[in-house]
Structure 1
Amino acid sequence: MQLLKAAQTIVLAEQVVSYTLKLVDIPQIWQQNDLAHPDYLLNAVPKRLNEFYVGRILAQAILQQHFSCLDSITSMSERLPIWPKGFKGSISHCKNKVVVAVSVQADYLGIDIEHIVDESFAKDSAALILTQSEQALWQTGQIQGLNFREYLTLIFSLKESLYKAVYPVAQSYIDFLEAFVEQIDMENQSVQLSFCLKVREKYGLLESYQGYWKIEDGVVLSWVFQSSEPPL
């Protein structure tokens, strides 16, 4: 609960509880609490351990405080969080921040946080991240208010959020070029994302997913949220 007090609430949707926390404000939490390391973290460096445990402990605190749920989401052998039945959740971290989102009303939920990439990464990775239609959006001047590094980071982050949202269904890696922006609203910072027909049919995915974003202080926060239920 102490970790939750140090975190800040972020508003994503009425049906989602989400917090962000600066990792620099949190000391090596696993050492303080003498936490056991899962098998897949035995060789992890201290920075990775802190990211992992802060994210997991913050998620557990959200479950307990907001949903009165005491179930553990961490397995000693499975890398991904194991969310309790009826819950959807997502965790992301980058350099000095961690974000967690939890919902009992979401059909799909994914969240991602990224620092704006540098010029070198943008140049070398654009063809691996942006589909031809997404490159055309930039080349035809339809993306207003962002430079190319910000645009590339945004699309990368949105696709990461999308993959996290659909992973419980797909249970498989999907390439960046197999997902694409169908519609984008720069003013309202919202986007409609789709997968190519082959991927949709293979995994039984929806025709489209709704994504959202915020960019602040050189950081992109994106999320994908889909619910068939009205807010409580």
Structure 2
Amino acid sequence: MKKFMKVSAALASICMKQANIIYLSADDVVCYRINISTLSKNFQYELQEVPYYLYNAKLKRLHEFFAGRILAEAILKQHFNCSIPITSMQLKWPQWPQGFKGCISHSNQWVVVAISSQAKYLGIDLEHIVNMNFAKESIPLILTQFEQMLWWMGKARPLNFYAYITLIFSLKESLYKAVYPVVQNYIDFLEVTVVKVDVGSRMAILKFDQDIQERYSLNAEYEGFWRFCDGYVFTWVLINC
């Protein structure tokens, strides 16, 4: 019998009071963000058990993990009237209740959770804008030749290059998370390409390489969306069919 970590109703209530809702372009997705350090002050004395896969984790990692799981269960309780726990003590990935798709992402002091009862697949990602050194070193690892061409042609204006490469990285992360239930395998950053960037509507179109698409029976293309705020970029990919 699987054992799950339970989040108390009191802790879930505190979490929702401290969290900020993020309104996405999709009505069927509920999304919140919360400051990890603020929430950790409330749960560090309540949660006594740690899943075995986190026995050697540092305190920062534990705070990130628990903040995301607590926020996810709080959203399920408040918006979907669902009190089923999602954190297995044996299995690393969130065990979303049947009929739900969810995703968790964190960066520095923030964690973001999105949940939908309608989406077929859902992926989100939160990234702090990278610095100059990281951007230069990451070009050949993250950007395909076409994505580099988009930049040099000015298709991403008025974004600066640091914001652009962070955006491309984050969009790909969101897509990977969305299709992982199907793929369940590693896909390289250069095996998917952002073929269109519309800064005005904050929308992008992504395509996997043909062999990847055919191998896993993936869609021909995917739409990704984003927002910049306070030095971060938040992206999401939602697939309904």
Query: Aligning the two structures, in what range does the TM-score lie when normalised by the shorter sequence?
Result: over 0.9
Query: 1:182 Cα shift?
Result: 2.0
What is the root-mean-square deviation in Å for CA atoms of aligned residues?
1.2
Q: 1:77-124 CA distances to partner (integer Å, 9 max, x unpaired)?
A: 222111111111000000010000000111121110000011111111
Stretches of structure 1 lacking an aligned partner (at least 5 in a row)? none
SS at match of 1:187: coil
Supply the distance in 2 between the matched residues of 1:30 and 1:46 (Cα, whole angstroms).
13
Residue in structure 2 matched with residue 168 of structure 1 by the alignment: 181
Gaps in structure 2 of 5+ consecutive residues = 1-12
TM-score when normalising by structure 2: 0.91
1:19 matched residue in structure 2: 32
* 1:134-165 Cα shifts (integer Å, max 9, x gaps): 01001122210111111000000000100010
125, 146, 153: which is aligned to 1:112?
125
Aligned residues: 228
Residue 88 of structure 2: SS of its match in structure 1?
A: coil
Residue in 2 aligned with 1:73? 86
* 1:7 maps to amino acid: A
Match of 1:139 among 129, 147, 152: 152
Q: Is the 8 A contact 1:30 1:49 kept in 2?
A: no
Letter of the 2:23 counterpart? V
Query: How many percent of aligned residue pairs carry the same amino acid?
Result: 52
Cα displacement (A) at 1:29: 4.7
2:40 is paired with a residue whose SS is: coil
Mapped to 2, the partners of 1:94 and 1:35 lie a distance apart of: 25
Q: Residue 35 of structure 1: CA displacement?
A: 3.3
Whether contact under 8 Å (1:29, 1:54) holds in the other structure is no
Q: What is the CA–CA distance in structure 1 between the aligned matches of 2:79 and 2:180, rounded to whole Å? A: 24
Partner SS state of residue 109, structure 1 = strand
Once the two structures are superposed, residues 187-212 of structure 1 have per-residue CA deviations (whole angstroms, 9 ceiling, x without a partner) of: 00001111111111111111111110
Separation of aligned partners in 2, 1:163 and 1:29:
32
CA deviations 1:15-61 (Å, max 9, x no partner) are 10000111232234552213311111111111110110010010011
